[in-house]
Amino acid sequence: MDLILTFHSLDTSGSVISYSPDDFRQVVEGLLEEGVALVGMDELLRDEGQADQPRALLTFDDGFSSVHEHALPLLAELGVPALLYVVTGWVGRTNRWPTQGAGAPEFDLMDWSQLRELQAAGIELGSHTVEHPHLADLEEGDLERELASSKRSLEDELQQAVRHFSYPYGTYRSSTTEAVRKHYNTATTTDMRWLGTGDDPLLLPRVDAYYLREPKRWAPIFGARTRTYLKGRAVLRNVAGHLRT
Ligand SMILES: [Zn+2]
């Protein structure tokens, strides 16, 4: 059984995109105590659904400075890999991109030197576009630019191939996915479930850590009780999502 977890900012503000640094440590240590292998994206996909040991991948969207402050030391100490998705047009700035809601909390984003420190510690960097737009709203040329130039910036800055992508807001159309497929090997969504065999690597599901706040309450995360809880939350979320559209 395999799971991809999503984090955004690691801070104590309690915002919808915030996860407390202490709770983050508890999740990481708790998963290791449960016997879950924390792996990178390549290893996760290598034997999807076949591995003897349950596995999880930690992902971070947007590239907040708080990840450099709180996750980097812990993950480096434990030798745990992770994957962080960068909004390349906003590196060294804050998350005030044009599509950001007025009520959203504003936090600092890492600069390139901080991102390189993550890279050196074994945290892989992927693309989360240039401007964090709703990709499903874009015309083909703009979509192509968001995908290609974010990849190019990352590869120029990091001197390493960039193969992984995350859809801003989790929104896409089938044409979006086909465009992403031309540039990247994998892409993650906000489709809230465990990985299954035969998942399209360009449409990988993830569970937002928002639903696992107070991690002691949800331990073991791979246990039947928490799996049932998350399934219920996913159903509610889908219903709410359909009502909005
Ligand atoms: Zn994002």
> Which residues on adjacent β-strands are paired with residue 58?
5
SS3 content of the chain, % helix, strand, coil (to 5): 45, 20, 40
Q: Where are the domains of the chain?
A: 2-244
Reference 10, options 91, 93, 107; nearest CA is 107
Has residue 16 got a pLDDT over 70? Answer: yes
Cα of 165 from ligand 1 centre, angstroms: 11
Has residue 244 got a pLDDT over 50? Answer: no
Cα of 44 from ligand 1 centre, angstroms: 22
CATH superfamily placement of domain 2-244: Glycoside hydrolase/deacetylase (3.20.20.370)
pLDDT band (50, 70, 90) for residue 198: confident
Give pLDDT, residue 240: 66
Cα of 75 from ligand 1 centre, angstroms: 21
Cα of 120 from ligand 1 centre, angstroms: 23
Cα of 222 from ligand 1 centre, angstroms: 26
Is 245 in a helix, a strand, or coil? coil
Give the tens place of pLDDT for each residue, 205-230.
Answer: 999 999 999 999 999 999 999 999 99
Q: How much of the chain, in percent, has pLDDT values that exceed 70?
A: 96
Cα of 77 from ligand 1 centre, angstroms: 27
pLDDT band (50, 70, 90) for residue 238: confident
Cα of 243 from ligand 1 centre, angstroms: 22
Q: Mean pLDDT, the chain, as a whole number?
A: 94
Phi and psi angles of residue 63, each rounded to the nearest 5 degrees, phi first: 90, 45
Give the tens place of pLDDT for each residue, 107-130.
Answer: 999 999 999 999 999 999 999 999
Has residue 239 got a pLDDT over 80? Answer: no
Residue that has been written with the tokens 């399209």 in this structure = 200
Looking at per-residue pLDDT, the higher value among 244 and 84 belongs to 84
Has residue 22 got a pLDDT over 50? Answer: yes
Cα of 229 from ligand 1 centre, angstroms: 25
Cα of 22 from ligand 1 centre, angstroms: 22
Predicted TM-score (pTM) of this structure = 0.95
Cα of 127 from ligand 1 centre, angstroms: 10
Cα of 33 from ligand 1 centre, angstroms: 30
Measure the CA dihedral 167/173/175/179, to 10°: 0
